[in-house]
Amino acid sequence: MAHADGFALSSPQIEVLRRHGSELAATAGTVLVEVGARSYPFMVVLEGEIAILDPSGGELARHGPSGFVGETNLLSGQTVEVSAVAATDVRYLAVERDELRRLLFENAPLGDVLLSAFMARREELQRVGGAGIEIIGPRSSEPTRRLVEFARRSRFAMTWRDTHDDPVAAAQVAGRLETELPLVRLPGGAELTAPTPGDLARALGIGRQLAAVEEVDLVIVGGGPAGLGAAVYGASEGLDTLLVEGDALGGQAGTSRRIENYLGFPAGISGADLALRAITQARKFGARTATPYKAVGLEAGDGVHVLHLEGGHRVRARAVVLATGAEYRRLPVDRIAEFEGVSVFYAAGPQEGRLCGGSDVAVIGGGNSAAQAAIWLARGGDPVSPRPCRSTSSTISPGTASPCGTAGRSPRCTGRTASWRPSRSRTGSGCRCSSCSVSSGRTRAPTGWRARSPPMRTASS
């Protein structure tokens, strides 16, 4: 159903944008932005209406006077996933992306309105079936699960078609070797065969391809808040700054529903919003980001240090900042990898909420993240059972019980339904559910490669 999202600009804000853009007109039916486009201008409606359509032509939203067209890909450069069409004869302002980026930091009230709208629209796109990329592959395929997880953490609009459950999808990849999966369809129709996360990011226009050897003033390892903060400080002081991240920018904080204890945000801020603001700020000062590239070694030198990355890439830098952060503490459960990304999740965002789809969900953990996950999933209509973690080992059995009638599956099954039982439960009871959201804390990210590096010389050595 078409709807307005409630975001609109004031007359003074429109006048500011008018000084930095061009006034254009289009007749009804004109396609202003099409699926698969690599760039588009920010558009403010002056007269008439602009409709936002999904790839099948369904109307998602309609923007009238004072409304505007744009979401986070306007800032990141990611391939466009929906189209914008003049629903009536329309007059609008068009502001180019680089000019808009500058305005976001010069005009704080305007930046607050636009960034809030962009984040809300990105979350809404993640709930729209059929928009964005389409990943076709079986849940038994580790490369498929890895790519799906990367897409989720990168906040891509995505549809995963599991060939175990979708006969139409299975027919589309019939005859392909396992090494040729998954098949990925991009907005606009292009296809990728068995891409890595880096291949996917670069195909969508947001991944930087590093040269065999890069030379910079400052290289930062880790793209969470600490790494992004270092990138802002370094680049703003005129240093040639490169940030490398092995997964998605934003780190673990980027997956949080709400952060209440981050300095400067007394009312709280979502992890995705914090990540977007930090990434945009770093890019404003000219910092470059490269994902996903994992660091595998560090050679300390006299004035120049060499960071080794997967794939044989090297970065020569005068200074190195390690901001590798933390990673999720995974449950010590047999066969857990078979369920991760299928029915076991370490975050509870729009994608996970859509996948759980009203089924029984167990939230494992008893801290802030677990409480946030329970509230978020319950708001979406999912029956939620909080399960505080009291044990050090557990068992998980696929397909043994289900409210939706999948009981009696083979013990070898890797279905979506699972029975989870703590090995030291006080009552001896377990949890039978269709999905689990795990919030059992975090551990320091492994950086064993640092121990193999020569000692780092410091100013006092």
- CA–CA separation, 388 vs 318, rounded Å? 47
- 288: CATH: 3.50.50.60
- 3-state DSSP: the chain helix, strand, coil percent, rounded to 5? 30, 25, 45
Q: Which residue has the higher pLDDT, 334 or 297?
A: 297
Q: Which two tokens stand for residue 268?
A: 């709280």
How would you classify the pairing of strands 42-47 and 90-95?
antiparallel
Percent of the chain with pLDDT over 90: 43
Give the lowest-confidence range in 109-113, 235-239, 256-260, 305-309. 256-260
pLDDT of residue 437: 67
Measured CA to CA in angstroms, residue 42 lies from 11, 89, 174 at distances of 17, 18, 42
Residues 276 and 308 in one domain: yes
pLDDT tops 80 at residue 458: no
Residues 388 and 403 in one domain: yes
Q: Are 419 and 394 in contact (CB under 8 A)?
A: no
Residues 194 and 111 in one domain: no
pLDDT tops 80 at residue 445: no
In a domain, 456, yes or no: no
- CA–CA separation, 162 vs 342, rounded Å? 9
Task: Please report the DSSP string for 328-393 in residue order.
Answer: E----BTTGGGTBTTTEES--SHHHHHHHTTS-EEEE--SHHHHHHHHHHHHTT--EEEE----S-
User: What are the pLDDT digits (tens) for 79-108?
Assistant: 999 999 999 999 999 999 989 988 887 888
pLDDT of residue 415: 36
Cβ-Cβ contacts under 8 Å for 374 (sequence gap 6 or more): 363, 384, 386, 437
Q: What is the dihedral of CA 278, 310, 204, 216, to 10 degrees?
A: 50
pLDDT band at 358 (very low <50, low <70, confident <90, very high): low
Tell me, yes or no, if the pTM score tops 0.85.
no
pLDDT tops 90 at residue 22: yes
- CA–CA separation, 299 vs 306, rounded Å? 5
Q: Are 372 and 257 in contact (CB under 8 A)?
A: yes
Phi, psi torsion values for 278, nearest 5 degrees: -65, -45
In a domain, 3, yes or no: no
Phi, psi torsion values for 384, nearest 5 degrees: -115, 135
Residues 355 and 391 in one domain: yes
Quote the domain boundaries for residue 292. 213-325
Residues 73 and 15 in one domain: yes
Residues 422 and 340 in one domain: yes
Q: Which two tokens stand for residue 292?
A: 């996903």
Residues 300 and 340 in one domain: no
H or E element: which one contains 411?
Answer: none
User: What are the pLDDT digits (tens) for 180-204?
Assistant: 999 999 998 899 999 999 999 999 9
Measured CA to CA in angstroms, residue 284 lies from 101, 238, 280 at distances of 7, 12, 6
In a domain, 455, yes or no: no
Residues 27 and 117 in one domain: yes
DSSP-assigned beta bridge partners for residue 23: 93
Residues 439 and 351 in one domain: yes
Closest CA to 169 of 183, 150, 151: 183
In a domain, 123, yes or no: yes
Q: Are 380 and 371 in contact (CB under 8 A)?
A: no
- CA–CA separation, 121 vs 4, rounded Å? 11
Q: Which residue has the higher pLDDT, 444 or 320?
A: 320
- 45: CATH: 2.60.120.10
In a domain, 293, yes or no: yes
* Mean predicted confidence (pLDDT) in 20-36: 96
Of 203, 225, 251, the one marking the end of a domain is: 203
Of 203, 226, 246, the one marking the end of a domain is: 203
* Mean predicted confidence (pLDDT) in 338-357: 70
In a domain, 259, yes or no: yes
Phi, psi torsion values for 444, nearest 5 degrees: -60, 135
Q: Which residue has the higher pLDDT, 108 or 347?
A: 108
With H, G, I as helix, E, B as strand and everything else as coil, classify residue 192.
Answer: strand
User: What are the pLDDT digits (tens) for 145-166?
Assistant: 889 988 888 888 889 999 988 9
Q: Which residue has the higher pLDDT, 311 or 22?
A: 22
Cβ-Cβ contacts under 8 Å for 193 (sequence gap 6 or more): 180, 183, 184
Residues 392 and 432 in one domain: yes
Domain count, the chain: 4
- 376: CATH: 3.50.50
pLDDT tops 50 at residue 268: yes
- CA–CA separation, 189 vs 39, rounded Å? 17
In a domain, 461, yes or no: no
Residues 303 and 360 in one domain: no
In a domain, 361, yes or no: yes
Residues 34 and 123 in one domain: yes
- 159: CATH: 3.40.30
N- to C-terminal Cα distance for the chain?
66
User: What are the pLDDT digits (tens) for 397-428?
Assistant: 444 333 332 333 322 333 334 444 444 444 44
pLDDT tops 90 at residue 373: no
pLDDT tops 60 at residue 132: yes
Cis peptide before 167 (omega within 30 of 0): no
> Which burial class, exposed, middle or buried, applies to 142 when counting CB atoms under 10 A from its CB (0-12, 13-18, 19+)?
exposed
